[in-house]
Amino acid sequence: MLSYKIKEIIKEALLEDMNNGDITTDNLVDENSRTKAEIKVKEDGVIAGVDIAKEVFKYLDKNISFEKKRADGDKVTKDTVIATLEGSTRAILSAERTALNILQRLSGIATKTSIFVEKVNGYNCRVVDTRKTTPGLRMLEKYAVRVGGGHNHRFNLSDSVMIKDNHIKAAGGIEEAVNIIKAKIPHTIKVEVEVEDLNQLNEALKSGADIIMLDNMECEDMKKAVSINKGRAILEASGNIELDTIERVAQTGVDIISSGGLTHSVKALDISLNIVY
């Protein structure tokens, strides 16, 4: 990840939490006070964001000592200490919530992604995220998906072409939309088309789409789509992909399974910071 972008995110998060200082800590704790603390997980999961949490503390005091006990991608159990830190009490207390918010959210995403990936282990498909991320945190959340063993879809609207249902309506049809877009974009950019049924699939194949998203299709239709496609385009399954359905989707033979649920409705992993002395 880009270090300057991480610092920018941390700065904005700290400003949001303490735009005019920490009125409690600044008036309660002596500026020369030093303390040692530990960061501990309170439930099983996959850790993501340890180094980012470290940078949150160091943003307030570069002299804070931060020792990682676990690294991103590690599977941990309840009560595991993932880091210890020592330094300015004021800086530790003021940075605590911002650091934990990031660490908990990213670890929650990594944990959920790892469970999804494990469900399709052995199938020849990738689990990928979507653009359904928290505004301002997309870089971090997509990183957490990778930590959990998943892959990233396009990062933003500038990355690649995705012709969705409303684009198709605006252009007058799938073939028309693909022809218009291919005449205007560089040859290095792939074109993805969203389809809702097998008739649209055939239209997308005829148009020369590189990737075809099977949107909210039943598994039987996905199997037929794989048979019709014959490897010509990359097939992506999307729409209400959950833990209890993802394996059935993988069994259809699609290449990609995308799920917005990896990021938009994830439960944060329960993690706490406790002062040791």
Active site positions, annotated: 97, 132, 164, 194, 215
With a CB cutoff of 8 Å and minimum separation 6, the contacts of 109 are 48, 141, 144, 145, 148, 262, 263, 266
The domain covering 118-264 belongs, at the CATH homologous superfamily level, to: Aldolase class I (3.20.20.70)
With a CB cutoff of 8 Å and minimum separation 6, the contacts of 187 are none
Specify the pLDDT at position 162.
97
Domain ranges across the chain = 3-116+266-275, 118-264
CA distance 85 to 275: 9
Q: Please list the residues that pair with 273 across neighbouring strands.
A: 39
Cα-to-chain-centroid distance, residue 95: 23
Q: Residue written as tokens 């075809």?
A: 212
Per-residue pLDDT of the chain (277 residues; tens, 9 = 90+): 668 899 999 999 999 999 999 999 999 999 999 999 999 999 999 999 999 999 999 999 999 999 999 999 999 999 999 999 999 999 999 999 999 999 999 999 999 999 999 999 999 999 999 999 999 999 999 999 999 999 999 999 999 999 999 999 999 999 999 999 999 999 999 999 999 999 999 999 999 999 999 999 999 999 999 999 999 999 999 998 999 999 999 999 999 999 999 999 899 999 999 999 9
CA distance 249 to 240: 11
Q: Please list the residues that pair with 39 across neighbouring strands.
A: 83, 273
Q: Residue written as tokens 């300057």?
A: 4
User: How do 191-195 and 161-163 pair as beta strands?
Assistant: parallel
Tokens of 63: 């002299």
The class level of CATH for 3-116+266-275 reads alpha beta
CA distance 219 to 236: 12
Specify the pLDDT at position 1.
66
CA distance 234 to 211: 5
Q: Residue written as tokens 């940078």?
A: 55
